Structure 1
Amino acid sequence: MNKLYVLKTYFYCLICLVFCVQIVFLLFLIVEYKHGFTFRVPSTVFQPSIQDSNQDTTSSNWVDDFRIIGHVMAENHLSIYIIDKCMLAGVQDKTNASNCLKTYSPILLAAHYHEIKHYLSKVIQELQKEDFEVVAFFNGNPEQLIPELISVPVALFVKRKFVFKILFLHGRVDNFWWFGNIQSDSEWERKLSDLNVSPISSELMLHEGALEKFEAVKYNFGKVDGLIPRNVTIFLSELDSCKFIECNHKRAQSFLKKHGITQDGKTQRFQHKIYKILSLTSMIAKQLSTPFWLSSGTCLGYFRQCGIIPYTTDIDIGMFIESYNPKFEDVMIKHGFRLKHKFGLPNDSFELSFNMASDSSLKLDVFFFYKEGQYYWNGGTQVRTAKKFKYIFPKFHLCWTIFLNLKVRVPCETESYILANYGPNWMEPIKQWDWKSSPFNVQGAGVWAESLRKQAIQVF
């Protein structure tokens, strides 16, 4: 009887213990959910292979070093983010990212410059006390003439057992983060050489960049936590197309002074109209995933004078035809635009023109570009004769820039784009311009067939 009583007592105690453990575990999950959103990954992710003793050492090196960097930043109430492409690809794919460490390439981190600028000297000193080599790179671009960017730090390279690149994110107009080019530092090659770091391993920092502001979350890398962008897929996509080029303000000032162009009230009102149209178009294009760039006269105004051509009557943008979304016209109309004309067909010389329903004084021309062999081209259509025209451009890539305080795209190879369209005298203003004969890259492309004209030539 006593034995039965003891067994029952043990049984009830065991049930109570299991119940308590479940309650504690549930409370732990609630706390984790509220404080940090720590995502844990399988032990194989970012963990060295047991058979690879060298990799084990390398993994320990980066973890130890990153833990110290994170501690120094936290002690100064600063955040540090892991934005390394290879490391984030491992997060995205849930795969073993040990190759990121085997290459001994520097790991890319990021920090907000406006947060760290008042503590930078202290952070450097504290890292040096922990036996880190610390090398700062500064923006020395003489063409920008952006007061807040002159001689500012653009990056820190820190090295103890492992090398880290800390990219400084600078807030710019239109609410995005800009980062600088380490090559603008006159001593960049020597500084990298002193750290035994190759320029190739620092490819992202060999150009300026623009990134959308992102929300960060905590992520567990097996042995250490780090902050990463919440949406890794979107961030990696932006990282692949983040190259930024600044307008040459020195050239613009020289041009404006030479030709006596001033920013009077009329010009400022005109600029504001263009700003509103481009801002709205940019929002719609982002919504529909249809990237555009400044083209024709608008691109010339940007490149030559960092602004608009005051006697222009339209805004010109380009899109690749493969990015065309059939919903584009309807969405534009819903946001206050009126479709003025629709020329060509999606497979040939497609072009759309809009103006604001509330103000028809300014036209937005959307030219669709086609990729063909070693060049790109867009088309044109004359309503009266049904003649077709073709404008040939050398291949180009797209970069971000600032235009009228908006973050927009332009061809990275802007000068060759302008040369193709306007010829070698593009620095000279031309007020008489015939779109059918003046461009250097125009050629005849036949006539629209009678059977296609109703569809290919639509004026509203």
Structure 2
Amino acid sequence: MPRLNKTGLLAVLVAASSAFLLFQLYYYRQSSNGGNTLRQKDIQWDALRRVMGVARKVALPIFLADPAALSLIGQMGGSEGGGHGCSFLCTGRPVTAFAAIADHWKYDRQAVATAASQKGLEVEQVRGRDPRLLEEGAELSAAQIPLHFLFRSTHGHIIQVVLLYQRSGGYLWHAPLRLAPSADHRLASPTSLPYGRHAGAYHRPELVLMVVDGLDVQVPRNSSHFLSLRSHAHFIECRHKEARAFYQLYPEDGSVEAAEFRRGARSVLSLAARTLDALNVPFWISSGTCLGWYRQCGFISYSRDVDVGVFIRHYRPDLATAFASAGLPLKHRFGKVEDSLELSFQSPGGGVKLDIFFFYQEENEGGGIVWNGGTQAKSGRKFKYVFPSFKLCWAELAGVRVRVPCTTLDYVRANYGHEAWSSPVTAWDWKTSPANVMENGVWPREDWGQVIQLY
């Protein structure tokens, strides 16, 4: 029998040992990573539990508003998620968001700070002026209200609580998050938080109590709908300071006729908003109504009508019927769905007129434009008003929640001139005065019965 080569045997033993050590190291790393993940989830869950304890202590009615967590809950179809570890609330993100409808909550700054400290949490309480008082011109006396709470656990997890307030338009509003220079910026950057990059406007959500990851949590019943609202919630506050400066230069018309117009305009705008919302037709305030909101936070009393815009893709054939049922019969219809459509409705007694301009989108090398048309009834002449493309944001005018172009100044300047928009112009010709008007041909005489309809 041949003798075993000692060198060969040693090499085999070394290779086997190395393989075993490598396997052990791999197993350890896998176990260690899993353990770290579990530990991180435990830390996040514990931070959430502590914040919910603070909320109970100060009677703050919070509900889950975190986009990632709500998305997971929506995927499970609304069933309760408990007993399987922190699967829904612990998303691995550095911030978890809650919200609270705070209108009837009694805020005590010291009580919040004390409750947070007792739970081992740091807290930054972000406050600001109540915009509902700013609307009334009470800038100096506008109270400071809580806007956001940022809680931080000892392990660094952030829990944001955004405060929602009901505005006069019947919607819920939250403020943007602006940390003061003296604030602890270690808590979080506003741009990294789910809520706070800009103000937001929401319908009041219906809430249900669920057990999620072993915690009793209020959650929007329709989480997918809530997340959809969040993606289009951007709200722009009226420029109250600039409006007051405008009225110092150009005092508001105090005549009976002007006051009656403002009341009528608010009534027509409110009715238009309810009617279009019921039809699920998004709209925005346009032309002089948009200028009035941007320049002076109100209606331009000498304009004598209310103007709204609608993208043509949202046109519905039953619009005229819906407005007639609401008390605004059709006054005239110009153009056609394919080109320059415009509808006007008259309030009872020949009062304030509502104009709905339909906007068409065109792509070009600069990124695209939008335009609406105009028609002169007696001649059939067509006009075109061109605007840069825009997205829509929420706003409020005379207590009515409306949309405005997010880039409002660009929109206003396109229509009224780069600087001329800032001063009143009472002599206005819709065919020649707008800065963005251009001739767009003439309707063929044989089409007048279809494109020029007066009632």
TM-score by length of 2: 0.83
Q: How much does 1:124 deviate?
A: 2.2
Partner of 1:135: 124
The aligned length equals 407
- Tell me how far apart the structure 2 counterparts of residues 214 and 359 of structure 1 sit (CA, whole Å): 39
Q: How does 1:417-436 map to 2 (within 5 A)?
A: 417-423=411-417, 424-436=419-431
- Tell me how far apart the structure 1 counterparts of residues 373 and 391 of structure 2 sit (CA, whole Å): 19
- Kindly tell me: are residues 292 and 192 of structure 1, through their superposed partners in 2, closer, same or farther at Cα, counting changes over 3 Å? farther
5+ residue gaps, structure 2: 1-30
Contact 1:55 1:102 in 2 (8 A): no
Give the alignment partner of residue 301 of structure 1, picking from 292, 317, 334: 292
Letter in 2 for 1:68: R
- Tell me how far apart the structure 2 counterparts of residues 454 and 73 of structure 1 sit (CA, whole Å): 65
- Tell me how far apart the structure 2 counterparts of residues 74 and 272 of structure 1 sit (CA, whole Å): 44
- Kindly tell me: are residues 220 and 262 of structure 1, through their superposed partners in 2, closer, same or farther at Cα, counting changes over 3 Å? same
Partner of 1:181: 176
Q: How much does 1:179 deviate?
A: 0.8
Contact 2:342 2:358 in 1 (8 A): yes
- Tell me how far apart the structure 1 counterparts of residues 416 and 265 of structure 2 sit (CA, whole Å): 22
1:70-122 deviations in Å (ceiling 9; x for gaps) = 22222333311111112111122229996984552311111233344433421
- Tell me how far apart the structure 1 counterparts of residues 331 and 57 of structure 2 sit (CA, whole Å): 59
- Tell me how far apart the structure 1 counterparts of residues 438 and 255 of structure 2 sit (CA, whole Å): 38
Give the alignment partner of residue 409 of structure 1, picking from 403, 406, 424: 403
1:261 and 2:256 aligned: no
Higher helix share: 1
What SS does the corresponding residue of 1:399 show, helix, strand or coil? strand
Q: How much does 1:146 deviate?
A: 5.7
Contact 1:108 1:165 in 2 (8 A): yes
Partner of 1:439: 434
1:69 and 2:51 aligned: yes
5+ residue gaps, structure 1: 1-48
- Kindly tell me: are residues 336 and 91 of structure 1, through their superposed partners in 2, closer, same or farther at Cα, counting changes over 3 Å? same
Percentage of identical aligned residues: 33
Q: How much does 1:419 deviate?
A: 0.4
- Tell me how far apart the structure 2 counterparts of residues 349 and 146 of structure 1 sit (CA, whole Å): 43
1:339-377 deviations in Å (ceiling 9; x for gaps) = 011111112111100012x22122100001111111111
Give the alignment partner of residue 107 of structure 1, picking from 96, 109, 130: 96
Q: How does 1:28-177 map to 2 (within 5 A)?
A: 52-94=34-76, 101=90, 103-139=92-128, 147=139, 151-160=144-153, 161=155, 162-177=157-172
Partner of 1:328: 319
Partner of 1:193: 185
Give the alignment partner of residue 286 of structure 1, picking from 267, 277, 282: 277
Give the alignment partner of residue 355 of structure 1, picking from 346, 351, 359: 346
RMSD, matched Cα? 2.6
- Tell me how far apart the structure 1 counterparts of residues 240 and 65 of structure 2 sit (CA, whole Å): 31
- Tell me how far apart the structure 2 counterparts of residues 280 and 233 of structure 1 sit (CA, whole Å): 29
What SS does the corresponding residue of 1:194 show, helix, strand or coil? coil
- Tell me how far apart the structure 1 counterparts of residues 355 and 200 of structure 2 sit (CA, whole Å): 28
Contact 2:209 2:217 in 1 (8 A): yes
Contact 2:287 2:307 in 1 (8 A): yes
Q: How much does 1:199 deviate?
A: 3.6
- Tell me how far apart the structure 2 counterparts of residues 212 and 267 of structure 1 sit (CA, whole Å): 32
1:459 and 2:450 aligned: no
- Kindly tell me: are residues 298 and 127 of structure 1, through their superposed partners in 2, closer, same or farther at Cα, counting changes over 3 Å? same
Q: How much does 1:287 deviate?
A: 0.8
Give the alignment partner of residue 337 of structure 1, picking from 325, 328, 347: 328
1:212 and 2:203 aligned: yes
Q: How much does 1:441 deviate?
A: 0.6
- Kindly tell me: are residues 149 and 412 of structure 1, through their superposed partners in 2, closer, same or farther at Cα, counting changes over 3 Å? farther
- Kindly tell me: are residues 350 and 63 of structure 1, through their superposed partners in 2, closer, same or farther at Cα, counting changes over 3 Å? same
Q: How much does 1:262 deviate?
A: 4.3
Letter in 1 for 2:401: K
Q: How much does 1:308 deviate?
A: 1.1
Letter in 2 for 1:409: R
1:309-354 deviations in Å (ceiling 9; x for gaps) = 1111211000111122222111111111110111111121111000
Contact 2:97 2:194 in 1 (8 A): no
- Greater mean alpha carbon deviation, residues 72-81 or residues 285-294: 72-81
- Kindly tell me: are residues 52 and 321 of structure 1, through their superposed partners in 2, closer, same or farther at Cα, counting changes over 3 Å? farther
Give the alignment partner of residue 272 of structure 1, picking from 263, 269, 280: 263
Letter in 2 for 1:223: G
1:277-309 deviations in Å (ceiling 9; x for gaps) = 111111111111101111001111111111111
Partner of 1:371: 361
Q: How much does 1:435 deviate?
A: 0.7
Letter in 2 for 1:376: V
What SS does the corresponding residue of 1:173 show, helix, strand or coil? coil
Contact 2:54 2:119 in 1 (8 A): no
Partner of 1:225: 216
What SS does the corresponding residue of 1:354 show, helix, strand or coil? strand
- Tell me how far apart the structure 2 counterparts of residues 203 and 91 of structure 1 sit (CA, whole Å): 17
Partner of 1:5: none
Greater Rg by CA: 2
Give the alignment partner of residue 382 of structure 2, picking from 374, 388, 392: 388
Contact 1:192 1:198 in 2 (8 A): no
- Tell me how far apart the structure 1 counterparts of residues 202 and 313 of structure 2 sit (CA, whole Å): 24
Q: How much does 1:130 deviate?
A: 1.5
- Kindly tell me: are residues 149 and 411 of structure 1, through their superposed partners in 2, closer, same or farther at Cα, counting changes over 3 Å? farther
